[in-house]
Structure formats: C-alpha cells, structure tokens
Amino acid sequence: MAVFRRSLPSSIFLASLATCDSLICLTYTLLFGVDAGIWYRKNTTLFFLYHRYIVPVFFIAKVVQFAIPFILILITFERYLWTCTESKRKFFSTVFNERGRIVTVIFVLFFSVVIRIPVLYAMKVKPFPECDDYFRSESLAGTPFASTEAYSIYDFHVITAIQMMFPFVVLLLLNLTIIKRLVAEKRENMYPILRSGTTTTEAKKASFVQGNLPENYVLLQVAADVIKESLIHRSSRSKRSQLRNAIYTMLAIVTSYLVCNGVHLFLTILERFDPSYLYDSVDSSQSSTFYIVLSDTVSICYMISSAIRIFIYAKCNPKLRQEIADYIKREKNIETNSS
C-alpha cells in the first residue's frame, strides 16, 4: 500500500487491491485467529470483544472478498487493452484515465457493500444467560431471515454466479487472450533490427545511385539512420518488456485467485447438496473432520493469496521490485537517523 500510494492516482487499482489484501488478512485474523486464541488461552476479555465485533467484521470480510475479483478484472482488462489497437484503447480511455479509475473503484466498492448488506441481517450473536460455562454463554447464530428461501437462493445462486462464476470465466478468458497475443507479438518482433537495418541501407544505396551526393555523406546518413532505428527499437523493446512484466505479474496473481476460487466453489457446491459426509457420523449436529479441514483450507487459501501478492510483485516485475526495495531502504534510513 505504501509503495502504490506514491504513484496515485494512476496506481489506484493496485493500491485498492493492496488495501483489500490487508483487510482480508486483518479480518480473517480477527475471525479465526482470535477465536482460536480464545479457546486455547481461555481468555474472557477476548471472548467478550470477539462477540461484539464478529458481525461487522464478518460483513467487512464478505465485502472485501466480493470486491477483490472485480478489481482483478479491472487490472487484467487494462493489461488486455495494452495489447489491443489504439482505437480500442481510446474507446475505453474514459474508464482508465486518472479520473475514470477513481470513479470505477468507488463504484466497485459501493456495489460490493450494497450486494453484501443482507449478510448483516442474516446473523446475530445469540446469548445463553443460563449457561454455566462463560465460553458458551454467547454464540454466533443465524436469524430467521437467514432461513428464508429467498435468502437461500440469493446467497447461493446470485452470489455464486456474480462473485465466483463470472469473475472465474472472465479472468480465465482475458488471461488466455493476453497470453495468445504476447506469444504472437514475440514471433512478429523476433528480428526487427535486422529487417529495419537492411531496409534502411538498401534505401540509402538507391538514393546514392540515383543522386549526386558524396559517398561519405550517404554512408554517414545510413549509419545515423540505422543507429536511430536501433535506439527506437531498444526503447520499444524496453516498453514491451515492462508490459510483459506487468502482464506476467497479473497472470501470477490471477492464477492464485483462481485456485482459491476453485476450492471455494467446490465447497459451496458441497454445502448446497448437503451430503452426509459433511457431518460427524456419531453426532449429526457436529461437522465432520473433512468439512472442517475443507472450510479452513478455503480461508487459508484466501489469506495466503492476499499475503503473497507482494512477493509476486517482487518476483515478476523488476520495476516494482526496485520500488519495494527503495521503500524498505528509505524506512531503514529513517529509523537509523531517528535512533
């Protein structure tokens, strides 16, 4: 977030994604890490605080989880436009200029909040005042609204289609198209210097034969033009290299997301069909080990996917790697000087 903040508003998509990653890690720690700490440490203060914040924090987690794939789509689509024609880039310029990016991010966040608001009305903290065990005196439970058929259809069919299926298909198609275009571009630009140098030399030779210019002047012009075209090609090659690095970064990030989304989709479908092996064979009110492990795997996958993004940036994009290294060096220098 600190690195991308320096290049706002042009990097607002990446800064928003970094913010969402931070929120995912924070909310999942508050939801699952604190819960584990309560039971292992038997801490009454944590238990009390946990049941005060669990509903709003769970809502924030759901909003962020919904927003991430759409921010990924925006970033990937922008990378896709880089491989398109100038006319197509101009057509979408209003969305991907500085003002357009800000408006688009605000719309995505607003849409994510609105579409996940029903979560706030689907759960509550249920007290059990007569329970002797303090650590069982409160529990998260569903509301009557959560048991309605309308919410069940909305939570499974609508959310699954919008949050999982749509981003999965769009991201997959966009990245396959980008890879195909990158491969085609690499083939087309395999020997550009040789071709451009030969064409220029032949043109100058023809000019010399047809005109009356001195030979050394013509040779100097030919040499100057070849060097100029070589420099232009190097600049173009550098830009293509930056483009490839940015695209490879997003490919790695999107791949990690698709893996998480695939596991989550598998769990969602299982929950919908409600097979018997999701419950304990002795006590049907308890979840089976398989269900617990699979549920935790989904949560862990999302956390890891968000946490490793900075390492993906550092590995796949030399420019971002340098910016991250420079930021760390500046922070170390500030700490050294202050101490």
Instruction: Summarize pLDDT for 299-322 with one digit per residue, the tens.
Output: 888 888 878 877 877 777 777 778
Query: Residue 209 pLDDT more than 50?
Result: no
Residue 250 confidence (pLDDT): 67
DSSP readout, 253-299? HHHHHHHHHHHHHHHHHHHHH--GGGB-SS-TTSB-HHHHHHHHHHH
Segment of 59-68, 128-137, 209-218 carrying the highest mean pLDDT: 59-68
Judge whether 27 and 61 are in contact, CB under 8 Å: yes
Judge whether 28 and 303 are in contact, CB under 8 Å: yes
Residue 166 confidence (pLDDT): 86
pLDDT-derived band at 241 (thresholds 50, 70, 90) equals low
Query: Residue 223 pLDDT more than 50?
Result: no
For residue 238, give the 3-state DSSP assignment.
Answer: helix
Residue 188 confidence (pLDDT): 63
User: In terms of Cα–Cα distance, which of 68, 62, 83 is closest to 16?
Assistant: 68
Give residue limits of the domains in the chain.
Answer: 2-328
The partner residues of 127 in beta bridges, in order of sequence, read 138
Check whether the bond before 9 is cis (ω within 30° of 0).
Answer: yes
State the DSSP H helix or E strand holding residue 139, giving kind and residue range, or none if neither.
strand 138-142
The partner residues of 138 in beta bridges, in order of sequence, read 127
Residue 112 confidence (pLDDT): 93
Percentage of residues in the chain with pLDDT exceeding 90?
A: 10
Query: Residue 173 pLDDT more than 60?
Result: yes
Quick: pLDDT tens for 81-101: 877 777 877 888 787 888 888
Residue 116 confidence (pLDDT): 92
Query: Residue 195 pLDDT more than 50?
Result: no
Query: Residue 216 pLDDT more than 50?
Result: no
How far is residue 267's CA from residue 263's CA, in Å, rounded to a whole number? 6
pTM: 0.71
The residue written with tokens 């720690």 in the block is 29
Instruction: Please list, in sequence order, all residues whose beta carbon lies within 8 angstroms of the beta carbon of residue 100, skipping any fewer than 6 positions away.
Output: 93, 94
Does 2-328 carry CATH code 3.40.50.20? Answer: no
